[in-house]
Amino acid sequence: MYQTSTMPSGAPSDPVASYGTLAFADSSAALAQLGRYTADLKRLVRERDAMLSQIEQAHINSLTLLSRAAEFRDDDTGVHMERVGDLAQLLARLMGRSEEEARMLRVAAPMHDIGKIGIPDAVLKKPGRYSAEERRIMNRHTIFGAEILGQSDIPVFQMAADVALSHHECWDGSGYPGGLRGMQIPWSGRVVALIDFFDALTMDRVYRPAFTDEQALAMLGQERGRKFDPALVDLFMAHVDQFIHLRGEINAAARDHGALLRPDAAWLAADLGR
């Protein structure tokens, strides 16, 4: 490369000096080329990241809509989903999870019942008690949900799949589908189980009016160490004012399913703390 063909005529006779000059000239050209490659590469990485972010956003939005469809079939208004996300995020922060995990849970938690989309109306909407067979069918919404959400390698969906699968497991091992107990249950599922229980009790349902906060807290206390992680129940009780306040803010803002959709990648990035 550095041979005589590139040697300018009239070059100094000292071969070492001329080699040094040429090497310098060549290396600055190479550096410039390298700079262009680096800039190109950075641009490609940026474009790839933006595209992945858009795909993730579209994926979250479509599965949020599917969760909404599942909730609508269960006579829900949609604000419950929103509250479960926000309140679960607060409990995750209080239990000392990282900010990234807490934000992911806010996105993942509202999808916990997405598997109800696979449950026939005759079972889902049946008033009164379930037969053993109907109960078995209904319980499969956890597995359906994990199958839908677990298709994706994106971390937020992995968390959402964990939540869908484990949000009916009980601390004492009496839950479903796995009969997991204690710390075998993923932290995300333990959080969402508690939040979902409290929020569902304190809202009107077609088959009963809302329980008061006092009644719901008493019921939560009764399930301490049975359905729910006792440490999480204690944490919730100790900060119950914060939860009630946050719930009030969500209700006052009259947010609905639309608020769960991320209109652009920047919003999603902010939601996930990127």
Query: Min. distance of Cβ 138 from Fe ion in angstroms?
Result: 9
**Residue whose CB is less far from Fe ion, 169 or 196:** 196
Q: Looking at residue 110, what DSSP letter applies? A: G
**146 vs 85: CA distance, rounded Å:** 17
Q: How far is the CB of 144 from Fe ion (least distance, A)?
A: 10
Contact between 245 and 235 (Cβ < 8 Å) = no
DSSP state of 263: S
Q: Give CA–CA dist 116/203, Å, rounded.
A: 19
Alpha helices (H) in 95-223, listed in sequence order: 99-108, 121-124, 132-139, 141-149, 155-166, 187-201, 213-222
Cβ closest to Fe ion, residue 88 vs residue 265? 88
Contact between 162 and Fe ion per CB under 5 A: no
* Cα-based angle 68, 69, 71 (whole degrees, multiple of 5): 60
**Is residue 113 within the footprint of Fe ion (CB under 5 A)?**
yes
Q: Tell me: does residue 196 bind Fe ion (CB under 5 A).
A: yes
Q: Is 229 an interacting residue with respect to Fe ion (CB under 5 A)?
A: no
Q: Which two tokens stand for residue 252?
A: 């006052």
Nearer to Fe ion, 59 or 140 (CB): 140
* Catalytic site residue from 116, 125, 126, 227: 116
User: 230 to each of 164, 170, 178, 227, how far by Cα in Å?
Assistant: 21, 11, 20, 9
Q: Judged by CB under 5 A, which stretch of 50-58, 189-197, 206-214, 257-265 contacts Fe ion?
A: 189-197
Is the CB of 113 or the CB of 169 nearer to Fe ion?
113
42 is catalytic: no
Query: What is the closest distance, in whole angstroms, from the C-beta atom of residue 145 to Fe ion in the complex?
Result: 8
The least distance separating Fe ion from the CB of residue 193, rounded to whole angstroms, comes to: 9
Which residues belong to the active site? Answer: 116
Where do contacts with Fe ion occur on this chain (CB under 5 A)?
113, 196
